[in-house]
Structure 1
Amino acid sequence: MDVMKNNPVVMLAALFPCLFFKIHICLGADTISANQPLSGDQTIESAGGIFELGFHKPGNSSNYYICMWYKQTSLDNIVWVANREKPVSDRFSSELTISNGNLVLFNESKTPIWSTKVSSTTSTTVRAVLRDDGNLVLTDGPTSPRPLWESFDNPAHIWLPGSKLGYNNRTKRNQRLISWKNSEDPAPGLFSLELDTSDNSYKILWNMSESYWTSGSWNGKSFDNIPEMGMRQNFLFNFSYFTDVNESYFTYSSIDSTIKSRCVMDVSGQVKQLSLFGLTQKWNLFWTQPQRQCKVYAFCGAYGSCNEKSLPFCNCLRGFEPKSQSAWDLKDYSGGCRRKTKLQCGNNISIVQNGEKDKFLQMSSMSLAEAAQAVTTANNEECESTCLSDCSCTAYAFNNSSCSIWTGDILNLKQLSEDESTGKTLYVRLAASELQSPKKQNGAVIGAVVGVAAGSAVLLGLIALLILRQRKKVLRHGKAVVEGSLVAFDYRYLQNATKNFSEKLGGGGFGSVFKGRLPDSNVVAVKQLESVNQGEKQFRTEISTIGTIQHVNLVRLRGFCSQAKKRLLVYDYMSNGSLDSHLFQEKNSNVLEWKTRYQIALGTARGLFYLHEKCRDCIIHCDIKPENILLDDEFCPKVADFGLAKLVGRNFSRVLTTMRGTRGYLAPEWISGVAITPKADVYSFGIMLFEFVSGRRNTEPFADGKVKFFPSWAASIIIEGGDVLTLLDPNLEGNVDVEDLTRVCRVACWCIQDDENRRPSMGQVVQILEGAIDVNSPPIPRSLEIFVEHQENIIFFTESSSRHSSQARSNTSNASSKVKSPTP
């Protein structure tokens, strides 16, 4: 510094790049004062270089805002915005400075458009300082006993560690997080997170009025609806509650000081906890609520329908179009949809065109909007007539002998799956021109009726014939009695169906599987269970529970047999067998193309998500691997053997490694003897994803004869930004969507993290594979780092790898002294 003071040439050399690049003259300065304002491209920076503040233009916006952001990452890094509702267009003519004891933003016209609004003062020592915790503090000099104002008391859409989110008991003001309007406009949006002091819970509101999610009451350790917070090993943050006569608030801190975190009230209407791990420089989703996008109230706006099985999630109803297509392009659906054609009713048209009145669009499997008016009617026709006679009525529904009508705009519509029992039928009012005239359909309807009648007569005859034949076969081959949704088979019945268990399909730790054909010609797979020590009553109870589980990506259980010590399960037969028979193909064989692999991975994830979070009791599969993923004739994946861990008891896991040879798929915590959670399945799924990519067992020798643990090598390529195509199955010849390949590889790396808390849930995996949320580059697990460092000395075997060649065995037998205990 002395050299600079005494040498004008050196001072000029240091000053020139600052002026050229329009950077603040005092590089690294953390203070704004009356003599040191901020304008143009100038910024201030916290002492430790963590946060930076200055003028910023979000996305492709033409407006500028005073923003604070993380300096360490350039992606989605804004944590606070001052002038959310009043942007400036010329940052070089605008200025953020100290004026009358306040931090004030003057626009191009030198008009104050934002201020800290504290009591004015003539003090010349007032300054604003940006701290390393992300708090912008207004003080009256370094000796000031307390801040005059601080950004922590005035949050925008982000809740940072150490800051408060609560309620001021004196001013009756709620410190709430409010979402941006869209990704390019930080103006307050429709969604907000705030404290409810009645039960010390947090709730998310739509339009400051409609609450659609709550954390549940605070019990001193966790919120009732977020129980995992109470378990330190399952949550990365410490929450604390404070209250006195002045204020009530929560604050939180990261358990691991090396992890940076932020809580966001997102434009999606979801509150999200994001974390920045290590050197990845990208935010990773740790936790989100509500977990499903369509749980967000009115996310798609008026006349918009939310469907979680489609992308984008929002679509306008038939006969409607987005009010603002540009807003929808920015994923801001709050404006909703408008009619393409005006209704006839209420248009002061004395003669209805073509003699046609308004009609109704029938929409099945809908979650109905709220704010309906109940009307007493006898049937659907009367309900329709009631709505049609009222020009303000926009829709009606007649369900369970109850008529409901809606007036005005319809909000919060959701399209449900056909198998969801809560779905109702909604009739939406449209102009007649938007619907096909029924006159054009009369001929087709009459033909269909005649065809159905004739077909029904033939069908009834065939059914009667089949019943007679079935009865004869049952008497000859044993009994099959329907119990609830399942069939209780006689042992002799299944013995005959499988030709005395002669055609074996496979086997494992739970027993052997045989192909069978029932008297009705349906082909089934019959599993003979082993090591089932339950009593008859308990076995039937658990079987009946598993039998009620229905999902398109789970193998259907048709029935069972329980006689003496004989326990058998009867499943639908999958014509394309198990995934391993297609995935691990020899060269020049029929190769499973990438698109099919991706759909199989997604379907498997959906099945596991259903088991973990949608069943009445959480079911942990405990044995996820390609052999337990079956494929139907259209290659739709079906998770098999789910629930068997529940039936047999989880003590089987101690012998699983020798009985089934699946050690390569077991999570580290399981091998170490720790009680497992659904995250054990997540780990196994991640290991399996690597096999989707490579088309080979993770522990097979490479073409050069070396034996490496594929996930460790793949993780190093992914995290170091290498060419992911080098990981791809060479049989695919590069025919792959690189974006999908990268997504799968990253998800796999996240799934196999050593710490189960860092692994995503299967629900998050589904969202990532569906493309609903992005996935960043993960940190490399320490266990894999060890494999990378010692690949020449570590050989990882799994007994299930039936394709190990004799050459590989001989190559490794000579190095047996180097083999270490295989730990994932």
Structure 2
Amino acid sequence: MMRTPCICSFLFGFFLIFSSIAAQLDYVSNANLSSTWTNNESSIPSSNSPDGSRIRIILSVKYRFACGFFCNGTCTSFLFAILFNTNDHVILWSANRDNPVRESAILNFTAAGELVLQDVDGSTVWTTNTTEKSVAFMNLTDKGNLMLFDNTKSMVWQSFDHPTDCLLPGQKLFQGQKLIPSVSSTNWTAQKDSYSLQLTHEGLFAYVGSNPPQVYFPSFGIDIDMINSYFKFFNGSLSFVDSMQYSLQYVKLMPDGHLKGFTVPDSVWADFLTGDLGECSYPLTCGRNSICSAERQCTCPGIDSFRAVNDRKPNMGCFPVTPLTCNATHDQHFIELTNIAYINNIADMEDVDIEICKQACLKKCSCKAAVFEYGSNTTSGRCYLLSELFTMPSVEAGVLPYNILTHIKVQNVTSSSMNVTSSSSSRNLVATVLGYTIGSFVLLIVVVGFIMFAVRKEKTNSEMEEEHLDQVPGMPIRFSYEQLKTATQNFSKKLGEGGFASVFKGTLEDGLQIAVKHLQGDVYVHVKKSFMAEVESIGSIHHVNLVQLKGFSAWKSERLLVYEFMSNGSLDQWIYYSGGDHQKHLLGWECRKKIILDIAKGLAYLHEERSQKIIHLDIKPQNILLDSNFNAKVSDFGLSKLIDRNQSRQVMTTMRGTFGYMAPEWLSSVITEKVDVYSFGIVLLEILCGRKNLDRSQPEESWHLLGVFQRCWEQGTLLDIVDRYSEDMQLHATEVTEMMKVVSWCLQTDFTRRPSMSTVIKVLEGVISVESNLDYNFSCPRLQETTFEHDKSSKPACDSILSGPR
């Protein structure tokens, strides 16, 4: 009788141990309302992979799928994602691919039935928006679908309805939805300007990014045999069918435009598009403006018209030797290519002849090539007008059931040099005749000769400038002066002006809004320097936090730069209180933090992510522009300087920049990128305090913000200088004063103690802390009050110049 309780106790203990082990082996697949998960080790232990990636599992099902926080590499940012729960984690879906969160971010399944992802700072990154749908519980299904259900077990939201770059068996792609690849296997950000796979009422189409997007794979009605084996097209949707014969687990649109089918974890079984396309038909196999042969050899069309971007890497594409302009048609001609196909499958014109097709391209500024397809017994055919020219596959004669001619538009070499020579010879003859006939007027001859020399030198410099512009790789579109004059309605819509430039709003023929910067002024040499600095600096680079240079115009003495239009203007209009109702338009704390991070990323790219680093030299709120979503972009590269990466310092004999934002080392003329870090610190301080660094409306002892900042550090009263006109800034005053440590680090008088911009980004993202033991003496000798390149003896600039172009 005594043994029975012992046996029962043993069995009960064994049951508890077995249940505990089972719970560790298989995570739950359901979650109820009011559940919260914090992204850290103490809350959710990590599961690590050999490749260094890590997942913190929230839900799991049958050791097959897992849902939770995922990171790779250094794990400074995380996705809330669904993955295969194997050693080699494969992301199948993510909620925040463009907005990763940090350590200690929170996923909250609220009592109202909404799944909300919040970053560590409390900002909402993603939500299901299901507060009005009576959600009762959440479930990760055995098909890898994250679903929210109501009390009747009816589905009210599912991840299958929001595809990213993958489709799982049973998942549908509906009309209007897209698969968009990630930038790379380690960069999850959506590659929005490159490839996409989209379903329309006509069928499945793969696109490459351009304006408008070009089709490189059409499947009208999904009639391709390979597609039919794995997909079904019905009721306006495309469904990926589970094929048990080959055990395909998912399909994925890759960063190179391929649509591949995989078996777990990462074995490629099928490449669905290549069988019908061929490798050369992928738009960027050989880069832009290039020809791809059957052996996948990449070459440039026309030796005299195009050159390789990199001779050692021909797959990087080609660039035109002479950039296209939008001048009259007689300034352009075509290179004709035969046996060259093209990816686009939607014609711009039907039943036209080749001349109509070519003339239509010449008359359309954005057209870079005309492709003409026609039958063997007719001269009429289909015409394609291409605004972007990607890889062009070479085909053998007779392979295609039709004939095809590709005409690439190129710019003629102008006859300006011939005109200059003829003009110069005429002037020399006149001068000689005058010299022989009016010998007594020697002084006059000297004056005339001097003028002629100056004119000829100016023309020579202009020709050298033109030649230099033509040789800058990746140059943007060259506009005619008349075209920009029309776009800006004769330069009537002025957005702002500065010392040497006025900025006008314009609209191109295709409806694209632009900002045209008209460089002008008495000092023509400075105008040319500013123009060349901007073109050389950002003419061929693209970054989300740099204002994009769309094009330029150089006509006689006129110099114009065409930028993307930034609808919310410059930063100074949003952070300084100007009285009246302006207070309601001041930016909140979260928006200001985003702007600060945007500026830092733009500068880090200029300083550290290019073969030649670019020092901006004029960072100030007037040169930070905001788009419609208040994304910040650095602009105005008129004073910038290109420096080789192996050159640590640059000696400059003239100062550049704006008083109040110039670093102390300008007095020594030895300059590094740390002058931009100093200027960034001043701008950051202005954003946090909501006032200008020099404000004479304040009491005299508070005119200079830097002096006020130093006193507050010494007295421990930093809360007093947080923007008092913004209630939201006051609400977050503690966080604001914490960021003032970043300001102090950036404003170190010794530039070697200032951080790099990449280090600033890590501080802003919470990865590292500000260096301790800083020098809080920010005073330095007064610099000359000027905003443009000048000699040290220059006079102070007027207020209109100090304001800078908007």
Question: So what's the TM-score if we normalise by structure 1?
Answer: 0.42
Question: So what's the TM-score if we normalise by structure 2?
Answer: 0.43
